Amino acid sequence: MHETYLKSFSLVSDAAESGFLMTLKRTCYNGVYPFKLFPDKMLEEIEFGPVTVFYGSNGSGKSTLLNVIAEKLGVIRHSAFSGGAFFGEYVSRCSAKTGGIPPASQILTSDDVFDYMLNVRYLNDGIDVRREELFDEWIAGKYSKHRFTGMQDYDKWKELCDASTKTQSQYVRERLRRNVDMFSNGESAMKYFTDHITENALYLLDEPENSLAVGLQKDLCQYISDSAKHFGCQFVIATHSPVLLSMPDALIYDLDETPVCTKKWTELPNVRQFFEFFEEHRSEFAEASE
């Protein structure tokens, strides 16, 4: 059940960029990002499959391209985004061919994952502080000599009675939410993706391999593949992870090439460098396995 909600996307042509830039007073601005980023790459139209990957080194424009698409399609964002003074002007000149973008479609970035991990930790820190406060409340109530003297004392009297009739663990448990499960950073990141990627939607993922060890990258790779194949999901991913690039049937655009072209994952420079590195150390692996 492969879905392609996003069929194709057209960037601003070289001529249209030049026409817009001619209207600007150059002395007013330090830069015109994201104008001037893509014309040299000779990239004007992108076709999409169920899983499409933008590959490139740092500064290649893969994250910018993902954000341009996200803004044009109006998908859900989980953190604030500002592309600069001219980002909106650029996006307004782009166009997309779609089969209808599901309302649950969203962009998931490494910043979103990092914020999620921080929030989990802050929440648990707060819960730990509250737990200590409740321990003190229970002790105070258990051994308090306070007596009910009027309605103005009712709330305090009820709290103390409750403490005197319950064990410490019962008292604390009833008043405290259970700690959010604590995982390693990688496990938390993986949980973030599995919580947000459900079914029947378009997902734009910006370098999802951040915080994920190789084993978890393989798990995410399988999760994405299964979601695209069986659950009506379409993915557009910006990455240079060899593991994610190896996804079967992924359509890969090499943004380091001029003009930008599609390649097999085994043809990409980053992947080749990994391969050559391990080839150089093949004998050491052979010794280790003996």
Give the Cα separation of 67 and 44 in Å (integer).
Answer: 16
Phi–psi pair at 75, nearest 5 degrees? -75, 165
Phi–psi pair at 107, nearest 5 degrees? -110, 130
Per-domain boundaries in the chain: 6-110+185-289, 112-175
Contact 95, 41 (CB under 8 A): no
* DSSP-assigned beta bridge partners for residue 52: 236, 251
Predicted TM-score of the model (pTM): 0.78
Phi–psi pair at 82, nearest 5 degrees? -140, 115
Q: Which of 202, 199, 181, 178 is nearest to 190 (CA)?
A: 181
The region that residue 254 occupies, defined by phi over 0 for left and psi between -120 and 50 for alpha, beta otherwise, is beta
Cα angle 171, 175, 178; round to 5:
105
pLDDT of residue 158: 60
Give the Cα separation of 201 and 5 in Å (integer).
Answer: 8
Cα angle 202, 62, 208; round to 5:
60
Mean pLDDT of the chain: 83
pLDDT of residue 86: 92
pLDDT of residue 230: 94
Alpha helices in 25-148 (DSSP H): 62-73, 87-92, 110-142
Give the Cα separation of 128 and 134 in Å (integer).
Answer: 10
CATH architecture for segment(s) 6-110+185-289: 3-Layer(aba) Sandwich (3.40)
Number of Cβ within a 10 Å radius of residue 163: 21
Give the Cα separation of 116 and 254 in Å (integer).
Answer: 30
Give the Cα separation of 24 and 71 in Å (integer).
Answer: 23
Per-10-residue mean pLDDT, the chain, length 290: 88 91 69 89 93 92 95 92 88 96 94 74 55 64 56 57 63 55 69 91 95 92 95 96 94 95 94 93 82
pLDDT of residue 189: 83
